[in-house]
Structure 1
């Protein structure tokens, strides 16, 4: 019987840790920033199956597509589940490991056979087109990639995506490439936002949401973008069959999020916190190493101390990271979210993490115990 497996990552939705470094998004917007007098007149009826046309237009304008090529969903995971259900039920899916565990669960829940392209810390989490091609077969229905990836924040270069699309056209021409672009707009400082992958052809589908880049996870608004009209029609029907519509209240507030368009301000915040994290890693190089992310509010670190002792010390210190094995990564790797906290709080939490690492390293040959920050 199909079922949704329970993952430890659900613990992040519980009580917040004293030193919270496990989250994967930037600072939250507040409702007061979005409210207008006009919203008080909003009728609380059903929305449309495709989504509010103003919201779809705002999303479309930022991706260079038409509004009728956008389907609004109840968060990004709803979008991924609908695509898994429509395109991969009892079919073959090619995806990476590590990856966000709920994405893998969506494929397994619909009975798909999953073929894995491993990416690793030691290789900088680089996705190689030849490694993806090696997993393709004529039975492949869906290839699923994220750029930037969760948990690493490492992007897949556009040239690699193009090579993958070309390989799919030869090996499995009826398959779709699902690209999760949730962190695409979460750039650092003056870095340019990468072009959307949906431009690579009608067999490429983009998924994202307001949760990570825009700080509006509580609205539960995501979307699918496809230039294949047949797939769009199937998605609208599938959405209606699962949730009827998204909340008109949330859609109206989502329009306000796009009207405010505070990505430049958030990019400055993320850049500052990235540099704080970079300095922290450099100061504690005997205890920890990292892979620098391309974008997003997250990165991965790998501890150089005894793993069991570190987990115990982190728990006693009140530090929470996201375990790498939640994502299918090696046990010594952890996702560190640096974008959620203001800079002073981030520094304090990283100091607490240093304390846990130092205590875990005490007496360990070859590992220094000097506080790094």
Structure 2
């Protein structure tokens, strides 16, 4: 988001020709600004702190990486990485297809399982590419809107109301982005039962990117990968493990026919993954417990500090406490902030060196925003939250 941007618009109507209309096949979303803007108090990012290349090279198993030949990779992904993904998810490595991030995996799934006239159901609010890659694939998308008031818990009635025999794909994240709220195994089974009744030819995609980003000693929920053959899961090394720059993710696909079709689709779009990135990602997964332990400790401390701040600001702020992930949803209370005050709040962020992810990016209102509490070094989280209080002071004047 540029400092002068008006965050109230979900789609920014611009194009190179200056006609005032966005002409791209993929909808424009200002979340793309996170790749270009990084203010000192960046509470917009949803990742843990970034690993360095040196930290990766220090992991066991990479001593001979200088001898790695930089040829084409395997179409399904490196055997080493698929072994590690399989072990991490309790499934056969044969089920694993590597992708350049989870979003590409969902795009491949959409263009392969959906044909003209088919439909998808998407639980929102969501990470914008999770919606926009479906639209870019030419798929009809029906949104099952989850609410702040219900803590963003899965609304099976809302999803069920949108299912039809034309539904070929249902997409949900667990933990969700932007809220960090998880779906239970029981809810997933109920959702599969709805598919049996109303959309028997549909697959259920579950984005598990944040699954292992738990707090302190809390164990992550078991992956949904082995629960049912209709479930396709996606994840990556980007969030919990702090290596988004590797651009390495994967799908787990039990259905062999679908897996073969997705592999051909991947080959036609990107040919293969980077052998260097996949080698580094495999080493990261092989050593993930040590990497995750340190990060989980930092996330637990960050969440505790955030919870204390939310309590101190309870007259102006409400929040949904996350189940996992380095992120959560907060909302400016309507009793303290009218629409004009909300606009002043967003316009004041640059002067406080502050960066937040507005709810409008994800399909929420401008009163809401995603806050990341794992990206900043611990010593800067407190000052960033203090700056957030100051921004609310400015908006209230």
TM range (shorter): over 0.9
Distance (Å, rounded) in 1 between the aligned partners of 2:180 and 2:161: 24
Alignment of 1:1-373 (within 5 A): 3-35=25-57, 36-90=62-116, 91-261=118-288, 262-304=291-333, 305=337, 306-362=341-397
User: Which stretches of structure 1, 4 residues or longer, exceed 3 Å deviation after superposition?
Assistant: none
TM-score, normalisation: structure 1: 0.95
1:324 to partner: Cα distance: 0.2
- Equivalenced residues, count: 362
- Assess if the C-alpha contact under 8 Å between 2:120 and 2:140 holds in 1: yes
- Assess if the C-alpha contact under 8 Å between 1:24 and 1:339 holds in 2: yes
- Assess if the C-alpha contact under 8 Å between 2:207 and 2:233 holds in 1: yes
- Assess if the C-alpha contact under 8 Å between 1:153 and 1:293 holds in 2: yes
Distance (Å, rounded) in 2 between the aligned partners of 1:346 and 1:87: 43
Show CA shifts across 1:129-160 (max 9, x none): 22211111111100000001110111112111
Distance (Å, rounded) in 2 between the aligned partners of 1:320 and 1:89: 40
Q: 1:89 to 1:352 in 2, by over 3 A?
A: farther
- Specify every segment of 5 or more residues in structure 1 that has no aligned partner in the other structure, as ranges: 363-373
- Assess if the C-alpha contact under 8 Å between 1:310 and 1:357 holds in 2: yes
Show CA shifts across 1:300-336 (max 9, x none): 1111332012112222212110010111001100000
- Assess if the C-alpha contact under 8 Å between 2:47 and 2:375 holds in 1: yes
Secondary structure of the residue that 1:37 maps to in structure 2? coil
Secondary structure of the residue that 1:86 maps to in structure 2? helix
1:22 to partner: Cα distance: 0.2
Distance (Å, rounded) in 2 between the aligned partners of 1:330 and 1:200: 34
- Assess if the C-alpha contact under 8 Å between 1:2 and 1:111 holds in 2: no
Secondary structure of the residue that 1:198 maps to in structure 2? coil
- Assess if the C-alpha contact under 8 Å between 1:88 and 1:107 holds in 2: no
Secondary structure of the residue that 1:27 maps to in structure 2? coil
- Specify every segment of 5 or more residues in structure 2 that has no aligned partner in the other structure, as ranges: 1-22
1:15 to partner: Cα distance: 2.6
TM-score, normalisation: structure 2: 0.89
Distance (Å, rounded) in 1 between the aligned partners of 2:292 and 2:276: 22
1:264 to partner: Cα distance: 1.6
The equivalent residue for 2:5 is none
